[in-house]
Amino acid sequence: MKQKWVWGALLLLCAAAACKREEAHYNTTAPQLQTRHFCNDPAAVNYNWDFPGKPDSTTCVYPADLFRGKFLFRDSVYDGDGYPDSAASQKEYTLTISGVGKNALRLTGFCATPLTLTAPRTGFRASLDTNAVTGQIFCRPQDTVNGFLIRNYADSTQLQIQFTVYADTSVRTHRGTAYRQP
């Protein structure tokens, strides 16, 4: 029995040694591949779209690029129980979103202090940055905010916004649509 096992192992070892890995042959000189450009940066939203082809960093679109611009935000404010806020149920803000990196954003227009957001490579969503449980400092030192904005995949002129503000006296949610301005 032991002898059969040895012969079987020896046969398997010889077969494995006789095999040669096939080398892949790609037609890298095909004309259609020279005119087809793709983004080769893993941080980009369109990483490797249109691959195979010629790497070209000028075709890259980064998460911050999806949100940049000036927007008119039609805000609806709700109290902590989800009912429209009686003091300020609807407002309009002109918001400016600028990129400060490939995935970092700065939002101005709510208060004097800009808000910082981070947008991942996937998902068309940017979240407010925070190290605190209830969010980053908002308009007053006693107020913090957390939340997100979502870019409409089908319509790049719209953002859905939801921010929850934790004040020293109440909790309010700002929810609505922002429309890109020229």
For the chain, give the number of residues: 182
pLDDT digits (tens, 9 = 90+) for 29-81: 667 667 788 899 999 998 888 888 888 889 999 999 999 999 999 999 998 88
Q: How far is residue 47's CA from residue 148's CA, in Å, rounded to a whole number?
A: 24
Q: What pLDDT was estimated at residue 157?
A: 94
Coil/strand/helix, residue 5: helix
**Contact call for residues 80 and 86 (beta carbons, < 8 A):** no
pTM of the model: 0.75
Contact residues for 155 (Cβ-Cβ < 8 A; gap 6+): none
Domain map of the chain by residue range? 28-61, 64-180
What architecture is domain 64-180?
A: Beta Barrel (2.40)
